[in-house]
Amino acid sequence: MRLYLLLIGLTFAISFLLTPLVRRIGARVGPSEVRERDVHKSPIPKLGGVAMIVAILLGLAVASRMDFLQGSFRDPGPVLGVLAAAILALVIGVIDDLRDLSWYYKLGGQILIGAVAVSGGIRLEAMPVGWIGIPSGPAQWLLTVFLIVLTMNAINFVDGLDGLAAGVGAIGATAFFVYCYWLARTINQYDNSNFAALLMALLLGACLGFLPHNFNPAKIFMGESGVMVIGLLMAVAAIMVTGDVGAQEGYRFRNIPAYMPILLPVAVILLPLLDLALAVIRRTANGRSPFSADRGHLHHKLVDGGYTQRQAVLVLYLWSAIVAFGSVAFIFKEFDWHIIVGVNALLTVGAAILTMWPWLRRSVSARRQRRGM
pLDDT at residue 272, as a whole number: 65
Q: Which has the closest alpha carbon to 226: 176, 170, 264? A: 170
Helix, strand, coil percentages in the chain from 3-state DSSP, rounded to 5: 75, 0, 25
For residue 366, count other CB atoms closer than 10 A to its CB. 10
Whole-number Å distance between alpha carbons of 345 and 347: 5
Does the pLDDT at position 266 exceed 90? no
Mean pLDDT calculated for residue range 278-298: 68
Phi-psi region of 122 (alpha: psi -120 to 50; beta: other; left: phi over 0): beta
Q: Which amino acid is at 260?
A: M
pLDDT by residue (tens digit) across 29-65? 866 665 555 555 577 888 999 999 999 999 999 999 9
pLDDT at residue 10, as a whole number: 97
pLDDT at residue 205, as a whole number: 97
pLDDT tier, 297 (very low <50, low <70, confident <90, very high otherwise) = low
Does the pLDDT at position 136 exceed 70? yes
pLDDT by residue (tens digit) across 70-128? 888 988 999 999 999 999 999 999 999 888 888 889 999 999 999 999 999 898 876 65
Contact status, residue 201 vs residue 56, Cβ threshold 8 Å: no
pLDDT at residue 209, as a whole number: 97
Q: Which has the closest alpha carbon to 110: 149, 80, 137? A: 149
Mean pLDDT calculated for residue range 142-156: 89
Pairing outcome for strands 132-133 and 126-127: antiparallel
156 annotated ligand binder:
yes
pLDDT by residue (tens digit) across 176-235? 899 888 877 776 666 667 899 999 999 999 999 999 999 988 999 999 999 999 999 999
Averaged pLDDT of the chain: 82
297 vs 335, which has greater pLDDT?
335
Residue 224, SS3 per DSSP: helix
Give the Cα-Cα-Cα angle 193, 11, 113 (nearest 5 degrees): 80
Which of 67-76, 128-137, 223-232, 354-363 is least confident?
128-137
